[in-house]
Chain A
Amino acid sequence: MTARVGVVTFPGSLDDGDAARAVRIAGAEPVRLWHGDPQLHGVDAVVLPGGFSYGDYLRCGAIARFAPVMETIVDAAAGGLPVLGICNGFQILCEAHLLPGALTRNQHLHFRNRDQLLRIESTTTAWTNAFQPGQKVLIPVKNGEGCYVADTATLDELEAEGRVVARYVGGNPNGSQRDIAAITNPAGNVVGIMPHPEHAVEALTGPSLDGLGFFTSVLKHLVGAPA
């Protein structure tokens, strides 16, 4: 049976179509979810895509976390539903307290879009099990507020528990603490990542095919997951 992966569209979501395409290329069935609809329509996993949900008014992700669909997702994530938040989705996950810390304005104060090398630090999450530990991947980063910050205790805890999922290498594009590009929750089913794996799934349009691993990982995870 084909896995069904939901992709949420908030007002101002921009990479929702790209995330759905990546899900499809990875071999799953993308299911479009609407912010105002609390139903998850039986999806096996959820992607919160990049963009500027609700215009990023107030704070990035601060309004989206109150969307009806998010209430359901927060509950389902507690029950083990794999959730990947990309860029704005990462910001939403932090605002929703599914992940610790926050994403703040890039240190250099500019939006930046570049092809970024990452090192995969944790391959035990639902979204990174297809990678090798320490594997370097090339994935576009594009954000204005992607600087990951948390207090020292939180950062130490993330490190100690192996919850730093990916780090920037070859230059930190936004000033994130400890070069953090992606983190996960203690259960490993919720991952937030600032760069955009959905933009690295086709040779023609991306800098690599490295992004596909995030989407194939969740399929592996779903197959292996206890029913």
Chain B
Amino acid sequence: MTTHPDPVRDTPEAFPAGSAQPVRPSPAAVAPQGAAVPQANPAATTSPANPANPAPAAAAASPAAPGRHAAASATDWSDGVDTVPRAGDTPEELQPYAELGLRDDEYDRIRHILGRRPTQSELAMYSIMWSEHCSYKSSKVHLRQFGEKAPPSDRLLAGIGENAGVVRVSDELAVTFKVESHNHPSFVEPYQGAATGVGGIVRDILAMGARPVAVMDPLRFGAADHPDTARVLPGVVAGVGGYGNCLGLPNIGGEVVFDPCYQGNPLVNALCLGVLPVKRLQKKEATGPGNIVVLMGAKTGRDGIGGVSVLASATFDEGSEQRRPSVQVGDPFIEKLLIEACLELYDAELVVGIQDLGGAGLTCALTETAASAGTGMRVWLERVPLREPSMEPHEILASESQERMLLVVAPDKLDAVLKTCEKWGVLATAIGEVTAPEPDGQPGRLLITWRDQLVVDVPPGSLVDDGPVYARPMREPADLILLQADRAETLPRPSDPDTLRETVLRMIASPNLADKTWVTEQYDRYVLGNTVLAQPEDSGVIRIDERTGLGVALSVDGNGRYARLDPYHGAKLALAEAYRNVAVTGAEPIAVTDCLNFGSPEDPGVMWQFAEAVRGLADGCAELGIPVTGGNVSFYNQTGAAAIHPTPVVGVLGVLENVAERVASGFVPRPGGDHDQLFLLGETHVELSGSEWAWVTHQHLGGVPPQVNLAREKQLAGLLAAAARVGHLSSAHDLSDGGLAQSLVESCLRHGVGARIAVPDRFGGGSMPFVFLFSESSGRVLVSVPRGHEKAFTALCGEHGVPWELIGVTDPAGGALEVHGQFRIRLDELREAHASLLPSLFGGMPPFEVTPAEPAVPAAAATEPVAEGAGDAGDTAEAGTGTQADEAGTVTQIDVVIAPETGGEADPATTAAVGGADATATSAEPATPDAPAGPDHGQPAVQAADQPADGETDGTRPAAGEQPPTSDER
């Protein structure tokens, strides 16, 4: 026990002089403690740094009238507070534990732990710490798998159980990232719910010692045209933007998904990414008896009281409109100052431990920091600066007021800490002291007084670690067998070109596939100047070291429909998609975070879904060799008996050694009309169950989701990273919802570059062209490869065991997406269909005249109609390669040539046609009008690049049979 020479400043504003030495409540409390109350920053009101936050005024007001507090409560407590001695004297007093969400046995357990009934403050603390939201009591037994099945990783510096996982990405730098839910508050109060969701996750990242550098937001709403969606979505989007933009954090991606199952239960998940020097990693442990506990940031108000226990663990019913005051209110300006102040404190090494205040507020921060260190704590609660002076102890302890952090600092550093906070205009107040463990070696106790009265005396670990753990009953939902038997593959499919054309236009205009610019334009993606890729790219990519070009890629994905049909594989599919989205940028995926959104765990069907999803995700991570580093569970996403689809949202983080090598998703304009070759990687099966098409066209959900093959995903990722490094890829775009058609349209519209596609022979006839375009088979990526790289690229595919198929060419001058023999749709028609839905539903931002995304692109290439016939001959003529064929001629050539261009050991069912067609292609080539006069057989790839070589390199083309066999575990 250190006897420090009164390191803290005595500030009468915060503590009446007469009570500067609080009554020591028990011998277990701290040793000599001359420390009175440091009230930081008394000058804050006059400093321009904080003009709108006249901080000390209310703080001073709060303790100013110590005796007046009594009447506030409805109870008959004569002195106004329920103290520990009083609790001991009145064992029979009835307490509203059930109303606070505690079960009989849980309440009995609290009494057993304390050896008496809890005080009102203690009851509030236990009820929030033992709520589902804080204790993970229903999920704990399942979440253990993430640790048990985790692959060994030498990158992991902090994992599950910390505020956020921390992963080393270079010798000096680490990144931390985590996704969290703020679903229930966002339904009640969309703007503040979403805004504080962002604020909360940002503080988690900050608490690890990192500078937050980007956010992402996976969002799910009810039907796009439902009236309540028009209330919730604009508010949520404005809230995410309002908070993130004001913090100066680029928003680099996310999801916007509509499904009626989220009606009344929107999912607002928020992810934050932070960067830190490895040596700046912070701890939350409140070590060092005698160290000072400092509350930093905004004042504490009544907002969010009961937010956790009442909101987060209650199913919505009729009364939810009345809960508005339970939703926290955010102030991003304070958080921005908090970030800067904390980073300065870290760099000056002034902090022993730090924890953000989020769900369960001060209660959680005090108990977690003490419990993790095994120490105790002595807190003077009246020192907490209050926004509302009439607040009672249990309210202060439960308040979820935003923008607060709890620091543990050595006494001799306190002045420096307060000075830094003052510089940034951030309120900081010493509210307590770390105390030693019990003499018998037991962890210390948390003692909290309120105006000299002991209101809390608990073992902190009992709130944090000793909460109830339930192995809740689980049962496969009774309807699942029937649901899985009702396959979408049996639905009527388009089988003629006109219907297929109409289907493409209808699908890209449907809510989940439509352009999300209306949403993403409300987010700042440029701030900090390190955003290399952002939405609508498959991943966000952030440069984290300007010197070396080191960067990270991040994607978040989930598919509730797949998980509804099969939660185990649905979770794996979400993981596979996020993994693939990171891989297409050329990054190496290294770590996972997850946000598990489910209905009520008290429903055995939901619990089964949860268990299956966790098992799937843990198995998937083990197969991919990347660990789950942290995440969040959100239960009770249901209204009445109707739960949402089980919705595991998975975030994957990857590393790019040099962000300059990143690959983007859009087809690249080539001055002079040159073409890139389009390859489809992976295998396409007849997989339509759970697909976007089945839902949009038939409102159908049934069958089993697409197969997932993580070994194949890993090979694909290896190929993409290798190909990106050597410049084989002009673009790469993941295939997922909406299949190939959606990816083609997105890649075309990104920079206004058209494409000509030939349907492979085996997808010819009947509805097979439709299957080719709309199947949602996993493990597929659409890449464009610059001329001259195709041989080397396909050879690389062979090395990595990835099946490939040449399906067409980009067509910068064509201004259209053409699928030979099926349809041709001009880009402006595609764009109109793709871009108009959200503005028409949510208004306010009329679509704007399109400006070219790339200044290098001649505007004509982006928007003008293609000139038919000889009109567009100029492009190729310029390159000196002879005459350009008319549209049909060119496409015919592609068709013939492409059909056999397949690599890898494809599924026998779908590769029947591949075998002997090679010769046809070869012989067809010289007839190709826009092929070079002499095909560049055998020429090195680098030379071939100089010549437009639409014509094929048949001599060196690996035939299907020559590809190294690859395993397909299906």
Which A residues are within 8 Å of any B CB, using their own CB? 11-12, 14-15, 17-18, 21, 35-36, 50-52, 54-58, 63, 66-68, 108-117, 138, 140, 142, 144, 170-171, 173, 196, 198-199, 202, 204-208, 210
Q: A52 to chain B: closest CB distance in Å?
A: 5
Report whether A15 and B522 are in contact in the complex, using a CB–CB cutoff of 8 Å.
no
Cα distance A11–B102 in the bound complex, in angstroms? 44
CA distance A14 to B335 in the complex (A): 13
**Residue of B48, B248, B532, B845 touching A54 (CB-CB under 8 A):** B48
Q: What residues of chain A lie closer than 8 Å to B336, measured between beta carbons? A: 11-12, 14, 52
Any A CB within 8 A of the CB of B524: yes
B531, B848, B853: the one within 8 Å of A173 (CB):
B848
Chain B interface residues (CB < 8 Å from chain A): 47-52, 238, 241-242, 245-248, 331-334, 336-337, 424-425, 520-532, 543, 659-660, 844-846, 848-849, 851, 853-855
Return 17 A-B CB contacts under 8 Å, by A number. A11-B49, A11-B50, A14-B246, A14-B247, A56-B246, A108-B844, A110-B521, A110-B522, A111-B242, A111-B524, A113-B523, A113-B526, A114-B848, A171-B849, A171-B851, A196-B526, A207-B854
Closest A residue to B525 using CB positions: A113
| Complex contact B529–A202 (CB within 8 A) | yes
Which single member of B52, B524, B848 contacts A113 (CB below 8 Å)? B524
**Contact: B337 with A206, CB < 8 Å?**
no
Q: B246–A12 contact, CB under 8 A?
A: yes
> Per a CB cutoff under 8 Å, which of B521, B529, B543 touches A112?
B521
- Closest chain B CB from A152 CB (angstroms): 26
The minimal Cβ–Cβ distance linking B233 to chain A, given in whole angstroms, is 12
Rounded to whole Å, the gap between the CB of B240 and the closest CB of chain A is 11
* Chain A residue at minimum C-beta to C-beta distance from B47: A36
Residue of A nearest to B333 (CB): A55
From A18, A58, A208, A210, B528 is in contact (CB under 8 Å) with: A18
Interface centre among B241, B520, B527 (most CB of A within 10 A): B527
| Alpha-carbon gap, A63 to B53, bound state (A) | 13
Among the listed A51, A111, A204, which residue makes an inter-chain contact with B659, where contact means beta carbons less than 8 Å apart? A204
- In the bound complex, residues from chain A placing their C-beta under 8 Å from that of B659 are 204
Assess the A204–B47 pair: CB atoms within 8 A: no
B11 to A: closest C-beta gap in Å: 22
How close is B752's CB to chain A, nearest CB, in angstroms?
A: 13
Measured CB to CB, the closest approach of chain A to B521, in angstroms, equals 5
Closest to A9 in B: B340
Checking B49, B242, B247, B527 against A18 with a beta-carbon cut-off of 8 angstroms, the contacting residue is B527
In Å, the complex CA distance between A35 and B424 comes to: 11
Given known contacts A51-B248, A113-B525, A199-B526, is B853 in contact with A66 (CB within 8 Å)? no
Report if A55-B853 is in contact (Cβ < 8 Å); known contacts: A110-B844, A110-B845, A112-B845.
no
Q: What residues on A are CB-neighbors of B848 within 8 Å?
A: 114, 170-171, 173
Task: Give 7 nearest A-B pairs by CB, closest first.
Answer: A55-B333, A14-B248, A171-B848, A18-B529, A199-B526, A57-B52, A170-B851
Provide the residues of chain B in CB contact with A108, threshold 8 Å: 844-846
Are the CB atoms of B521 and A11 closer together than 8 Å?
no
Give every chain B residue within 8 A of A171 (Cβ-Cβ).
848-849, 851
| Minimal beta-carbon separation of A47 from chain B (angstroms) | 14
Chain A residues within 8 Å of B247, by CB: 14
* Given A12-B333, A110-B238, 20 extra CB contacts under 8 A: A11-B50, A12-B336, A14-B527, A17-B528, A52-B246, A55-B246, A57-B52, A58-B52, A111-B238, A112-B845, A113-B524, A138-B855, A140-B526, A142-B524, A142-B527, A171-B848, A173-B848, A199-B527, A205-B529, A207-B855
* Contact across chains for A11 and B238 when beta carbons are under 8 A apart: no
Residues of chain B within 8 A (CB-CB) of A140 are 526
- Report the bound CA distance from A135 to B334 in whole Å: 41
A51 to B336 CA separation, bound complex (whole angstroms) = 11
Say yes or no: A21-B529 contact (C-beta < 8 A), given A110-B845, A170-B851, A204-B543. Answer: yes
Residues of A within 8 Å of B332, CB to CB, are 52, 55
Which residues from chain A contact B532 at a C-beta distance below 8 Å?
A: 204-205
Q: Which residue of A lies closest to B546 (CB)?
A: A21
A170 touches B48 (CB 8 A): no
Residues of A contacting B337 in the complex (Cβ-Cβ under 8 angstroms): 11-12
Q: Which of B526, B528, B845 has the most CB atoms of chain A within a 10 A radius of its CB? A: B526
Least distance between A89 CB and chain B CB atoms (Å): 14
B51 and A57 contact, CB distance less than 8 A: yes
Whether the Cβ atoms of A198 and B529 lie closer than 8 Å is yes
Shortest Cβ distance from B520 into A: residue: A113
Contact among B49, B334, B521 for A114, CB-based, below 8 A: B521
- The smallest C-beta distance from A166 to any residue of chain B, in angstroms, reads 15
Which residues of the partner chain A approach B248 to less than 8 Å between Cβ atoms? 14-15, 51
Q: Which residues of A contact B334 (CB under 8 A)?
A: 55
Name the residue of chain A whose CB is nearest to the CB of B424: A11
Closest to A64 in B: B48
Cβ A113 vs Cβ B522 within 8 A: yes
A55 (CB) vs chain B CBs: closest residue? B333
Instruction: Using CB atoms, name the residue of chain B closest to A203.
Output: B660
CA distance A104 to B772 in the complex (A): 51
- A57 lies within 8 A of B333 (CB): yes
Q: How far is the CB of A174 from chain B (nearest CB, A)?
A: 11
**Most chain B beta carbons < 10 A, residue from A17, A55, A58:** A55
CA distance A58 to B337 in the complex (A): 18
* Chain B residue at minimum C-beta to C-beta distance from A140: B526
Minimal beta-carbon separation of A193 from chain B (angstroms): 15
- In the complex, which residue of chain A has the Cβ closest to the Cβ of B336? A12
**What is the bound-complex CA distance between A204 and B247, given in angstroms?**
23
Q: In angstroms, how far is the closest chain A Cβ from the Cβ of B916?
A: 47
Determine which residue in A11, A116, A173 has the highest number of CB atoms from chain B within 10 A of its CB, and name it.
A11
Q: Are A142 and B526 in contact (CB under 8 A)?
A: yes
B residues in contact with A55, CB < 8 Å: 52, 246, 331-334
Q: Contact partner of B522 among A11, A56, A111, A208, CB < 8 A?
A: A111
* Closest partner residue, chain B, to A114 (CB atom): B521
Q: Kindly state the separation between the CA atoms of A199 and B855 in the bound complex, as whole angstroms.
A: 15
Residues of B within 8 Å of A36, CB to CB, are: 47-49
Shortest distance from the beta carbon of B750 to any chain A beta carbon, whole Å: 13
Nearest CB on A from B851, distance (A): 5
B849 contacts A205, CB within 8 Å? no
> Which residues from B are CB-within-8-Å of A35?
48-49
